[in-house]
Amino acid sequence: MTPAPVPIRTRTFVPVGVLVNKRHVLRFESRHQPLLSRPAFARRVARNFAAASALVAVSLFGGMLGYHLTEGMASWTPSPTPR
C-alpha cells in the first residue's frame, strides 16, 4: 500500500498592517504584565464605550432605514400631523 498524499501547504496572503494575533487586536495586557494605570484604564473604557455606542447607533439607524424602505412609508413620522 502506498501512503496517502500529503497536502501541500501554501502561503496565504496577509496584507501589510493586518494583525493576525487576536491579543493585539483586543489590546489587553496578559496576566503576566502589570496592570494599567488609572488614566490608561479610563481611556480604554472610554474607547470601548465609544465603539459599542457607535455599533448600537449604526445598527439602530440600519433598522430604521430598513423598516422605512420595506414598509413604503412616505414620511419618517409614524403619526398623522394635526391640521
Q: For residue 27, what pLDDT is reported?
A: 75
Place of cell 501512503: 3
d(CA 51, CA 56): 9
Q: First CA to last CA across the chain, in angstroms?
A: 89
pTM value is: 0.57
Q: What number of helices (H) and strands (E) belong to the chain? A: 2, 0
pLDDT at 73 over 60: yes
Looking at the chain, list the stretches that DSSP marks H as alpha helix, in order from N- to C-terminal side. 22-26, 38-70
Residues 9-36 have a mean pLDDT of: 68
Question: For 31-69, how does the pLDDT look when each residue is reduced to its tens digit (9 = 90+)?
Answer: 888 999 999 999 999 999 999 999 999 999 999 888 888
